[in-house]
Amino acid sequence: MTDMVSAERRSQIMARIRSTDTTPEMTVRRLLHRMGYRFRLHVRDLPGRPDIVLPKYKTAILVHGCFWHGHRCKDGRRPKSNMGYWNGKLDRNKNRDKINKQRLRRAGWKPVVIWACQCTEEDRLMDIIRNALDE
């Protein structure tokens, strides 16, 4: 009986692990790796702790969720209810992103935003990465 419960728990845990593997950030990381780029993750000593950093290219890749970071796409639409709350929260996120990008530039880094909705097609994503790195 206990075994069954733990097996169920385990499958829940595994399901969660699998789902984190398919996040947009993981997609970008896998692709960069396959393209042969070397990178570091979540670099603490850079403004905003960028998701992915390519030291050789002095480039910081910020993988942004469309909703939380306010992309102008259908996933970035703001909720119609509780608007005061959401507008305040999402405006603060956008503002923070803007400041982090400015700070990165000032520190000599090129910030590149990749939106979650751009991570669904690999060919397109590869183009975005190559353009960002001037390759």
List residues near Zn ion by CB under 5 A: 66, 71, 73, 75, 115, 117
Q: Which residues contact 75 (CB under 8 A, 6 or more apart)?
A: 66, 67, 116, 117
Q: Which is nearer to Zn ion, 75 or 127 (CB)?
A: 75
Distance in Å, CB of 132 to Zn ion, minimum:
17
Q: Which is nearer to Zn ion, 43 or 117 (CB)?
A: 117
Q: Which is nearer to Zn ion, 43 or 113 (CB)?
A: 113
Distance in Å, CB of 74 to Zn ion, minimum:
8
Distance in Å, CB of 61 to Zn ion, minimum:
16
C-alpha to C-alpha distances, 10 to 1, 22, 23, 119, nearest whole angstrom: 14, 19, 21, 29
Instruction: Please say whether the beta carbons of 97 and 50 come within 8 A.
Output: no
